[in-house]
Chains A and B, each alone.
Chain A
Amino acid sequence: MTRGAGDLMDYRVTIGLETHVQLKTQTKIWCGCRNRFGQPPNTDVCPVCLGYPGTLPVLNRESVRLTVMAGLMLGCRINERSTFDRKSYFYPDMPKNYQISQYDEPLCLGGRLEIEVNGRKKSIGITRIHLEEDVGKSIHYEQSSGVDFNRAGTPLMEIVSEPEIESADEAFAYLTALKQVLLYGGISDCNLEEGNIRSDINCSVRPVEREELGTKIEIKNMNTFRGVHRSLVYEISRQINVLNDGGSISQETRRWNDETGVTEAMRTKEYAHDYRYFPEPDLMPVVLTREQIEGWRATIPELPGDRRARFVREYGLSEYDAGVLSADRNVADYYEEAARASGHFKAVSNWIMTDMLHAMSEGAIPIQEVKITPGALAGLIDLVDRQVINRPSAKRVFTILFEKGGNPADIVEQEGLSQVRDTESLETYIDEAITAHPQSVSDYRSGKKAALKFLVGQVMRLSKGKADPQMALEMLRERLDTG
């Protein structure tokens, strides 16, 4: 903030987000071209998605299902009849110079999304969700420009929030929670680098005492959550400064410059588009039956918030641990499978939260691809619990399991990691340690208790880490105290 916090306190901020989400379908929304990222320019294209004369759109039914699923997960009402409309404007990346979208009869209406900011819970209203087509991508070279139409016709869902977001932090939390829900439902890959989620921001400020909303500024096409946050921090401060200086905000569209960290004016209200929406005559209305909608509803997975609460309740985890483990549906699924197999809920949580997530992020490996199965993790925990192996050996076994997979007991066997717990062998190591370090023995006896720890370490070293450290400690103490 450029001004003191006092200024911010005098104003209320109102933010609404329009979030475009690319749907995870095999093919595009109107044609059979593949819906995928990263192909050479203009290779996933055909006469239909290039808008050639005489071509017609045919609706991809899976895109409807995914949009309805998103609506159901966000508590929306699903329109049994919805229609498509043409939104007209000229732009080189738009093959038909109109975008097929939904205007007054979208698939989903009204819904809510729970967010949490600094431990405070809040519910943000969802106005509507509609289905439309994505456009191509303009590429600018030094002397010329080109358009890649691979993205044109990708199914795109627009989620419009109510203007109930009141800070940059809330906007960030809203997008994070939204992404979590969409990932849970398998609606979208939500890959920000690939442009799967892009938001338009509407933001205004007003003095706290004023009833009516301030003049709205729109910031277009934000493709990172961090960018949304930063641009809002800037924009809120800019608007407050203008008002504080006695100025007024005029309605306009601005763009975020990520390098300079400021928003820049793009176009004012006078240049606003008249999109000339009218019903799309090439497509029939989408008619869904109650049974169809209820059938889809039955397939909704448990939402991240609900799952987190259940993890606390059912497995006795802390709020924090439950939050981390439920954030990603696949991690949560993994946790539950391992926890059920093991019964040691807390131990499973500890292993995943520390060793597993660490190893995953080191190798950039998603949990679906790790080699250690939930059953193997449970088995490993069981070996520790039954004191077959000690903690350091368990870490070694985990590393092997993570890298190669396999059965923990077999690995213990192959690696000879079974804990040495028979007193005879331990006595031998202890004899050796005492003989080799008389100084430590006398140190201990003269009251330096730390020397005992050193001798345990020697026993561990002599046993190549396999001695049961607890047993070694007790036996050593008994020997030195009595001997």
Chain B
Amino acid sequence: MSSLSALTIHELIDLLDRGVCSSEDVVTEVLSAIDARDERVGAYLDYDAEGALAAARSADDARSKGAERILPGIPIGIKDVLNVKGDTCRCGSRILEGYVSPYDATAVARLRQAGALFLGRLNMDEFAMGSTNENSAFQITHNPWNLEHVPGGSSGGSAAAVAAGEAVAALGTDTGGSIRQPASFCGCVGLKPTYGRVSRFGATAFASSLDQIGPITRCVRDAALLLGIMAGRDPLDSTTVEVPVPNYQEALADDLKGMKLGIPREYFVEGIDKEVEQSIRKAIRLCGDLGAEIVEISLPHTEYAVAVYYILATAEASANLARFDGVRYGARDEGHDPMDLYVKTRARYFGPEVKRRIILGTYVLSSGYYDAYYRRGQKVRTLIRRDFEQAFQECDAILAPVAPTTAYRLGEKIEDPLQMYLGDIFTIPASLAGMCGLSVPCGFSDAGLPIGLQIIGDAFREDRVLRVGYAYEQSTEWHKRIPPIRDDEGGR
């Protein structure tokens, strides 16, 4: 097997430009990679081979007639939470069985406009609630680096597909770490943009004040490219912001001269895996070698972040998921009156983690508890945001681990939700603060599982985060390693 499906978007664009290969070739090889490996990986819920090949041929046709597109027929995998017109969009849930999207999410529409094509739906934790993909109603996704381990979540299918060579790049969504953590677990690059940078229109909402769409890619440059296409004000999403979109690729540089990078002392505490800590500390030293000034900073309210997150995110989710009632679309169990229909439908088609969070969110908003939970949670969220605002007075970006450990074994955390929630301790604070964060590969454990370095940036300073990630990536080899499942590729 040749290795078109293993290349980066940039490498493919170069080959397409030079006429070395066609979009149809690329799609064909991605499809055969899926064919060869996805039975073991389980990244895709659904894909349309014929449709993708037809789209590729029409992209090739357009290119031959002189059409110039930024992503000429580049196939991109889509997390099952994003609406793509005419495709299923089940959000990893049985309750959306039968639903077909009548419209494109704005991020999808912008990529489509740029020439991209979408060949399939990637597995996820049901409604993006989970950190392992084990909460998908349909299937388990396996970590391509070790099939006994989880790919992370909730964008686990997206990260696993990119790592396994089953997608050139993919879109995920990140609410409390759902792009960064699976990217870290699978050895990919994952970018969570600033809240308000990329339109949420078309991303089925989990927690509206936290959700962001972002890319999962093989290299930082690809993430910069995709962000540049998706970012910017969208009249269909009132929470997008009128901040100019810079050319993120031009912001990339090989060194970190003049940059000040902050190391939050609260992120290096007990509980963090030794191998992870060593890799992160090594990465920090390398950034120093690349010219950055390393300073210690403090994010004093970090310890409250997980608790605050599980109050605010579940509160919003309890309302966001109320629309899945069996009346207008999706699965339905008939009832003798509307309430009976709701109860039967929701009891049967929502999974246990989703129910747990809806109940938690309903509780924290209930009369008599609102002040103690939701209102207090909002106040602490403000304090956490101020932590970051203060920190960014002292540094240009923050370096930290993405997760305290490498990818869990399958089944290791699923019975203990609290332990699982704590695994998001390093990604949640930036989400609550609305900041941007990038995960780049920075090493491997002795067991061969990837470790991710998290680079957190100030609001709308994705340019800085990408610059740090790129300089680091260019001076290391981690991102070039491929998981054993790709041994059939025959090398690059």
Are A50 and B328 in contact (CB-based, < 8 A)? yes
Interface status of B338 (Cβ within 8 A of chain A): yes
Residues on A with C-beta less than 8 A from B91 are 53
Residue A315 is within 8 A (CB to CB) of chain B in the complex? no
User: Which B residues touch A97, using CB under 8 A?
Assistant: 319, 322-323, 325
A276 at the interface (CB under 8 A from B): yes
Which of A51, A95, A274, A282 lies in contact with B238, CB distance below 8 A?
Answer: A282
B319 touches A53 (CB 8 A): no
Given contact pairs A47-B102, A282-B238, A96 touches B322 in the complex (Cβ within 8 A) = yes
- Bound complex: CA of A372 vs CA of B202, how far in Å? 55
CB neighbours of B103 from chain A (8 A): 47, 52
Q: Is B427 an interface residue (CB 8 A)?
A: no
Interface residues of chain A: helix, strand, loop or mixed (majority): loop
A282 B342 Cβ-Cβ under 8 A: no
**Interchain CB contact under 8 A, A54 and B82:** yes
The number of inter-chain residue pairs (CB within 8 angstroms) is: 100
Q: Say whether B201 contacts A55, CB under 8 Å.
A: yes
The residue in chain B whose Cβ has the minimal distance to the Cβ of A280 is B208
Report the minimal beta-carbon distance from A162 to chain B, rounded to whole angstroms.
Answer: 24
Contacts of A98 in B (CB 8 A): 319, 322
A296 within 8 A of B: no
User: Can you name the residue of chain B whose Cβ is closest to the Cβ of A98?
Assistant: B319
Cα distance A57–B323 when bound, in Å? 14
Given A90-B338, A92-B338, answer yes or no on A53-B83 (Cβ-Cβ < 8 Å).
yes
| CB of A281 within 8 Å of the partner chain | yes
- For B363, the closest partner residue in chain A by CB is A276
Interface residues of A in 32-78 (CB under 8 A from B): 47, 50-59
Residues of B within 8 A of A281 (CB): 207-209, 239, 316
How many chain B residues touch A (Cβ–Cβ < 8 Å)?
45
Complex: A98 Cα to B322 Cα, angstroms: 7
Complex CA gap A282/B210 in Å reads 11
8 Å CB contact of B322 from A88, A147, A283, A284: A88
In contact, A54 and B204 (Cβ under 8 angstroms): yes
Name the contact of B236 in the complex, choosing from A56, A90, A276 (C-beta under 8 A).
Answer: A56
Binary contact readout B103-120 vs A (1 if CB under 8 angstroms, 0 otherwise): 101000000000000000
| The residue from B102, B201, B316, B365 contacting A56, defined by CB atoms under 8 A apart | B201
Residues of B within 8 A of A55 (CB): 201-202
A284-B329 contact in complex given A54-B201, A95-B323, C-beta closer than 8 Å: no
Q: When chains A and B are docked, how far (Å) is the Cα of A394 from the Cα of B89?
A: 73
**Which A residues between 236 and 291 are near B, CB-CB below 8 angstroms?**
274, 276-278, 281-284
Which residue of chain B has its CB nearest to the CB of A89? Answer: B322
- B237 at interface (Cβ–Cβ under 8 A)? yes
User: Given B202, B318, B370, B374, which contacts A54 in the complex, CB threshold below 8 Å?
Assistant: B202
B143 CB to closest chain A CB (Å) equals 28
Interfacial chain B residues near A86, Cβ < 8 Å: 319
Assembly CA distance A55 to B82 (angstroms): 11
Q: Is the CB of B338 within 8 A of A91?
A: yes
Closest to B210 in A: A281
A90 near B322 with CB under 8 A, answer yes
CB-based nearest A residue for B326: A92
Q: How far is the CA of A54 from the CA of B213 in the complex (A)?
A: 12
Contact A54 B315 (CB under 8 A): no
Which of B82, B237, B323 has the largest count of A CB atoms less than 10 A from its CB?
Answer: B323
Q: Quick check: is B400 within 8 A (CB to CB) of the other chain? A: no
B203 at the binding interface (Cβ < 8 Å)? yes
Residues of A with C-beta under 8 A to B101: 54
Tell me whether B447 is interfacial, beta carbon within 8 Å: no
A197 to B82, CA, bound (A): 39
Is the pair B323, A54 in contact by a Cβ cutoff of 8 Å? no
| Distance between B130 CB and nearest chain A CB, rounded to angstroms | 18
Instruction: Sample 20 A-B pairs with CB under 8 A, ordered by A number.
Output: A51-B323, A51-B328, A52-B102, A52-B103, A53-B83, A53-B89, A55-B201, A56-B200, A56-B201, A56-B237, A58-B235, A88-B319, A88-B322, A92-B325, A95-B323, A96-B322, A97-B319, A97-B323, A276-B367, A281-B209
A58-B237, A58-B238 are known; give 5 further A-B pairs, CB within 8 A: A52-B83, A53-B96, A55-B201, A276-B362, A277-B365
Q: Contact residues of A with B, CB < 8 Å?
A: 47, 50-59, 86, 88, 90-92, 95-98, 147, 274, 276-278, 281-284
The 5 closest A-B pairs by CB, nearest first: A97-B322, A276-B365, A281-B209, A281-B208, A53-B204
